Amino acid sequence: MKKESILSDQAPAPVGPYSQAVKAGGFLFLSGQVALDPATGKMVEGDVVAHTRQIMANLEGVLQAAGASLADVVKTTIFLTDMGDFGAVNGVYGEYFPENPPARSCVQVAALPLGAPIEMEMIAVL
């Protein structure tokens, strides 16, 4: 099976040996994103709502670089350091998927890169 790495300047550059996304077998697998501003490389300021909005913008940029959109997303995984943030994150998330939302998992984790309160990854169909 052929695979193709995707790189977008609309999302933070990878800081390790991974791709922002990989196309394979008719799917697009997007790596987890925290709320880094791609222009500065720094974590955005603000609460989990601000972080969620930046993450969604980053993921949209990667989707667009691959010729896809949020409408093509079939699965998301959300990682939270505090499940108490679930309601706030869910509210923002729902704005991006108002109809026919993808399947989703949400789990609490002990810690995320750079002390982020949230990380999100996606799978899209191409």
The reported pLDDT for the residue numbered 60 is 98
Q: What is the mean pLDDT of residues 100-113?
A: 98
Whole-number pLDDT of residue 15: 85
Mean pLDDT of 90-113: 97
- List Cα–Cα distances, 83 to 11, 79, 87, 104, 105, in angstroms: 26, 9, 9, 15, 12
Which among 51, 57, 58 is positioned nearest to 89, based on CA atoms?
51
C-alpha to C-alpha distance for 63 and 25, rounded to whole angstroms: 16
DSSP 3-state percent helix, strand, coil across the chain (nearest 5): 30, 30, 40
- Position 1 scores a pLDDT of 87
Say whether pLDDT at 49 is over 90.
yes
Domains, the chain, ranges and CATH?
Answer: 3-125 (3.30.1330.40)
- Report the catalytic residues: 106
pLDDT digits (tens, 9 = 90+) for 6-44: 999 999 999 899 999 999 999 999 999 999 999 999 999
